[in-house]
Amino acid sequence: MIVTTLALPAAEPVRLAEAKEYLRISGDGEDGLVSSLISGARARIEALAGVAMISRTLRVTMDGWPQGAIEKRTVVMPVRPADELVAVRVFDRAGVAETVTGRFSLARGRSARLVWTSGAFPWPGQRHNGIEVDYVAGFGEEPDDIAEALRLAVKRLVAHAYQKRDGETLNGPLPEDVAGLISPWRRVLL
């Protein structure tokens, strides 16, 4: 599965003023740095936890249906929480899309599953990128819609990166307190 963001989030999960207060920064000379640290921390935490904090429209592209999808009548979406199904398209051998959204529903919330509800199961005709699923994922439009543990994880990772300032901190080992805050949100697949 390939996940592409179609519409970027309108805000970050932590406002600049909140991060500066957490870091005890009073001036605005480092606003650019702090803003970029917020974005980087959000991206890292979202990737590790498999969540979208602020709502956005995503496209999941698949070569074919995942193993077991037909028997279970469901496909687990890679980013949670799911909010709204936008479109499901299946491409034929010539690369022409057939919109089959009406045959599916989206299990909203933390489960984030595409559920086949009616009609014949649509098969892609092309071998690569034969299926596209567009959906909205995220806790909401505003930072206050997000679970406080995830917002605190962003603040703590920003503080860690701000203190280190080595350019590799956001990609290095995750501080234990941050890992503990996001662990309940991580999806475990068996």
pLDDT in tens, 109-136: 778 999 999 988 899 999 899 999 999 9
Amino acid 84: pLDDT: 95
Q: Write down the pTM of the prediction.
A: 0.89
* Distance between CA atoms of residues 180 and 66, nearest Å: 31
Per-residue pLDDT averaged across 32-43, rounded? 94
Q: Bigger pLDDT: 121 or 61?
A: 61
* Distance between CA atoms of residues 155 and 153, nearest Å: 5
What are the φ and ψ backbone dihedral angles of 54, each rounded to 5 degrees? -95, 135
* Distance between CA atoms of residues 106 and 117, nearest Å: 10
* Distance between CA atoms of residues 144 and 173, nearest Å: 28
pLDDT-derived band at 167 (thresholds 50, 70, 90) equals: low
Q: Bigger pLDDT: 177 or 169?
A: 177
Q: Bigger pLDDT: 169 or 49?
A: 49
Average pLDDT, the chain: 92
* Distance between CA atoms of residues 68 and 49, nearest Å: 24
Look up residue 39 and give its amino acid. Answer: S
* Distance between CA atoms of residues 74 and 37, nearest Å: 37
Asked if the model's pLDDT at residue 168 lies above 80, the reply is: no
**Both tokens of residue 125?**
């005709």
**94 C-beta neighbours (distance < 10 Å), count:** 7
Largest CA distance in the chain: 61
Contact partners, residue 27, CB within 8 Å, separation at least 6: none
Amino acid 189: pLDDT: 61
